[in-house]
Structure 1
Amino acid sequence: MSPQPTNPNPDLNRLISEGYEIEQKHGHLIMHGVPYVTEDREVRRGKLISELTLAGNRTTRPSTHVMMFAGARPCDRFGRPLQKIINSESPNRIAEGLVAQFSFSSKPSCGYFGDYYAKMKTYADILESQAQAIDSDVTARTFRVIASSDRDSPFHYVDTASSRAGITSLSKKLETEDVAIVGLGGTGSFVHDGLVKCPIQRIHTFDDDTYLQHNVFRSPGAASVEDLQALPKKVHYYADMYGKMHKGIHPNAVRVTKDNVDLLRPMDFVFLCMDASPDKKAIIDALTAFGTTFIDVGLGLDLVDGGLIGSVRITTSHAGNRDSSLQRIPLGGLGDANLYDRNIQVLELNALGAMLAILKWKKLRGFYCDLEGETSTVFNVDGNHLLNEALPCIRSVA
């Protein structure tokens, strides 16, 4: 028997101590080696697969009584399908190498299972009881422990959001090695907030500015007075915040310029969230030479008749549209006409630009369907219009 893993959860520890083969994988709880009966009255072993609801690394009450099952159609001792618990019969690809053929439903009288011990054991007992009617020695309590395979995850804890939604397999498409955010102002900080929830191995941030009081009002989270008095660099402030969740954050307290743009050469993808400047053209030229796909995010506002008008723009640049995309990206200074440069508070527009950029990145990764293949998107504030333009484009980036 393998050494038992350390687990802070009494319900999972009880399953392990009683000899059940328990594994936490892809945000799910799996019980291996569960005996059941086939239509030919053969005793085989299958897998019970449950969503796994966690608070940090601790289990909470299961969010559903439904259970998934990997194996042939389960039957009673006479070879009749267990229609009382079979809820549906349709292959469900949870993740690579993990496919459930059935879902079960056996709701307790109170309407829910109190913990995962009760949930897993209830379904194991139903299947096992029919198998033991044919072979009295068979049991799900094999005392074989399987170590978790999520040790290489970029997260400090399991992504149960994907497992609860049934999109673990889709989320795998967002796995990539190195993604950079150039500029951690209002927009870049929201891009950072979105990317740390994705299974990216390393997120590199570049900004040499100090995190100041005005930054708090157009960025995610809420800094304390003590945080601000410490005068942290933006990259370090966010690294400390998001490092509680993501292991692979690499802060760089430098401003990317034409002289150090080689810092971006190793990146698989780049989000440009910087103001227009002479260096921006050099950075874009370098990313083009590197063959790096990037998304540029811009925002512009004007004060007219006592109200703000303006737009949010995202432009995607890749091998198929370099010249045309460059025409959509402002490169020179915008001067005093752009109120955003005077730190006007536009948190909702910062967040919108960031989310549009992440949405497009996820389309490029194949997470979302991309019917139009738009590579330039502009949101006009005053008319609430979202305008797309399809420059020569690609559908998916592997």
Structure 2
Amino acid sequence: MSLQLINRSPDLKRLRDEGYEIEVRAGHLLVHSVPYVNPRGETAMGTLVSNLTLAGDITARPDSHVAHFVGEHPCNLNGTEMAQIKHASNKTDLGCGIVTDHSFSNKPADGYADYHHKMTRYIEVIGAPARSRDPDLKAQTFRPVAASTDESVFHYVDTASSRAGIQALSMRLARRVAIIGLGGTGSYLLDQLAKTPATEIHLFDGDVFMQHNAFRAPGAPSLAQLEAKAPKVEWFKAIYSNMHARIVAHHCYVDETNINAILGFDMVFICVDKGSVRQMIAAALVANGSSFIDVGMGVEVAGEAHQLLAVCRVTTVTPDRTEHIASRIPMADRDEEDAYNQNIQIADLNAMNAIMAVVKWKKICGFYADEEGEHHSTYSTSMNLLTTDEVTE
């Protein structure tokens, strides 16, 4: 991906062709072997780093004038720090092994036209004292830089994380996950998980994508696409594989004959509406010491006004917390008269249910702070009330 990006981006290609040691990693551009003078008046080499603004597989105009630096703070010949570029000095983990020591701020009146303009301007300023001592000292070493062997799960660079400076934090989500059931909530779960660096996303569902599914799932299929009656897992894989490269489709229902297929994941999301199936899956996961998040939604028509009452539920089970399963996860099959069994599901509630589950998963992964450690939460639409319990001790 990095070589393709460099070859297709005129500013990056120009930097490489002019002999700069450039590398693209984790949504950032790195220029190695940048000469500077350190606080002791010695000539040293550092690495200049910038986040990348991309339009697909080509660079766009830089959206930030700030640059980062790996090394000591560049100084003048007398050992004083270069105040004209000073921004902040602290260790910053940008992900994938990029840990910077300083950040610089140097903004032209009209901003930077491209990354060649940005990086060479900083290199010129940083290296001026060193070049005054040795005019032949340049960052243009023409030394080749090996292409990164790190394979991304994405087909294009996650510039949202790099732009926000949370690339290292996002990598905590690099886990194997599975979604059982691609109905309303399960499909919104996929929509969210496909935007994370999950190492694999496995989909389990034996249904085909029908017209009623279109009204409670992300996206907007055409009539012709609905008439194709594609398996749900293949339908959603085709959409989200445009972004995430490691989505695995299993066109089957999970039952006793294939239950082993859901074992071994870092997290399993259970999105089924049949209690006996949920019970079978939960029992197998608990016996295996696996973590899972079970989601549920109850909707019924109530009152003379015939309005909907709805509750979204998210219940988390980890190897050290299983005692709440019986009281919090419904395991019995509902009778045919039950309002939930009438398939009352609304897209916004499906999406909310999925978001609640994803937020909890991200807490478990250490992405979000988690002061409560809740293993069960519900949201009631009529009271606009979010409740949590089963707090860890």
* Short-chain TM bin: over 0.9
Q: For residue 57 of structure 2, what is the aligned residue in structure 1?
A: 57
| Matched residue SS, 2:349 | helix
What CA distance in whole angstroms lies between the structure 1 residues aligned with 2:6 and 2:50? 20
Contact 2:20 2:139 in 1 (8 A): yes
1:258 Cα offset (Å): 2.7
- Which residue in the other structure is 2:154 paired with? 155
| Counterpart code for 2:247 | I
Q: Could you tell me which residue of structure 2 aligns to residue 202 of structure 1?
A: 200
Amino acid at match of 1:272: I
Aligned match of 1:116: 115
SS state of the match for residue 11, structure 2? helix
Please name the residue that 2:74 is paired with.
Answer: 74
Counterpart CA distance in 1 for 2:353 and 2:326 is 18
1:38 aligns with 2:1: no
Instruction: State the alpha-carbon separation in 1 of the partners of residues 167 and 147 from structure 2.
Output: 16
The separation in 2 between residues aligned to 1:387 and 1:49, in whole angstroms, is 44
**Match of residue 347 from structure 1:** 347
Residue of structure 2 in register with 1:307 after alignment: 307
Deviations 1:263-299 (A, max 9, x none): 1123221000111232221111111111110000000
Distance 1:67 1:207 in 2: 47
Aligned residue type for 2:57: N
| Aligned 8 A contact 2:267 2:291 in 1 | yes
Alpha carbons of structure 1 residues 326 and 56: separation in structure 2 relative to 1, 3 Å = farther
Does the residue aligned with 2:388 lie in a helix, a strand or coil?
A: strand
- 1:260 deviates by 2.0
Separation in 1 of the partners of 2:340 and 2:13?
54
Secondary structure of the residue aligned to 1:235 is: helix
Is the counterpart of residue 370 in structure 1 residue 370 in structure 2? yes
Give the structure 1 partner of residue 139 of structure 2: 140
Question: Which amino acid in the other structure matches residue 206 of structure 1?
Answer: F
- The question of 1:166 aligning with 2:165 is answered yes
Given that 2:372 and 2:392 are in contact with CA atoms closer than 8 Å, whether structure 1 keeps it comes out as no
Q: What letter matches 1:167 in structure 2?
A: I
Match of 2:274 in 1: 276
Task: Trace 1:87-102 onto structure 2 (pairs within 5 A).
Answer: 87-95=87-95, 97-102=97-102
Task: Give the structure 1 partner of residue 15 of structure 2.
Answer: 15
Q: Distance in 2 between matches of 1:29 and 1:282?
A: 49
Letter in 1 for 2:320: G
Q: Which residue of 2 aligns with 1:229?
A: 227
The alpha-carbon distance between structure 1 residues 147 and 307, as it changes in their structure 2 partners (threshold 3 A), is farther
Greater mean alpha carbon deviation, residues 63-72 or residues 96-105: 96-105
How many Å apart are 1:118 and its aligned residue? Answer: 0.8
Unaligned 5+ runs, structure 1: 394-398
1:28 equivalent in structure 2: 28
Q: Could you say if the C-alpha distance between residues 61 and 335 of structure 1 is closer, same or farther in structure 2, counting changes exceeding 3 Å?
A: farther
Post-superposition shift, 1:4?
9.8
| Secondary structure of 1:200's aligned partner | coil
Instruction: Give unmatched runs, 5+ long, in structure 2.
Output: none
Deviates more, 1:140-149 or 1:210-219: 140-149
Q: How many pairs does the alignment contain?
A: 389
Residue aligned with 1:57, SS: coil
Distance in 1 separating the partners of 2:337 and 2:359? 29
1:127 aligns with 2:132: no
CA–CA distance in structure 2, aligned partners of residues 340 and 7 of structure 1: 55
User: What residue identity is the alignment partner of 1:130?
Assistant: P
Alpha-carbon distance in structure 2 between the residues aligned to 1:62 and 1:150: 26
Q: Is the 8 A contact 2:49 2:69 kept in 1?
A: yes
- For residues 307 and 132 of structure 1, the distance between their equivalents in structure 2, rounded to whole angstroms, comes to 76
Residue 284 of structure 1 aligns to which amino acid in structure 2? A
How far residue 191 of structure 1 moved from its aligned partner, in angstroms, is 0.6
> Is the CA contact 1:378–1:388 (under 8 Å) kept in the aligned structure 2?
yes
CA distance in 2, matches of 1:6, 1:134: 33
Distance 1:336 1:309, change over 3 A: farther
- Offset at residue 12 of structure 1 (A): 0.5
Q: Deviations over 1:199-246 (max 9, x none)?
A: 112111000111111111111111122211211111000110111111
- Given that 1:257 and 1:280 are in contact with CA atoms closer than 8 Å, whether structure 2 keeps it comes out as no
SS of alignment partner, residue 60 of structure 1: coil
What CA distance in whole angstroms lies between the structure 2 residues aligned with 1:261 and 1:187? 21
- Compared CA separation, residues 271 and 4, structure 1 to 2 (3 A): closer
User: Which residue is 2:285 aligned to?
Assistant: 287
Query: 1:198, CA displacement in angstroms?
Result: 1.2
Q: CA deviation at 1:146?
A: 2.1
Q: Which amino acid aligns with 2:208?
A: T
Q: In structure 2, what is the Cα distance between the partners aligned to 1:121 and 1:335?
A: 70
Q: CA deviation at 1:391?
A: 4.5
Q: Aligned in 2, Cα 1:119/1:335: closer, same or farther, shift over 3 Å? A: farther
Deviation, 1:127, is 1.3
Distance across 2 between alignment mates of 1:169 and 1:6:
23
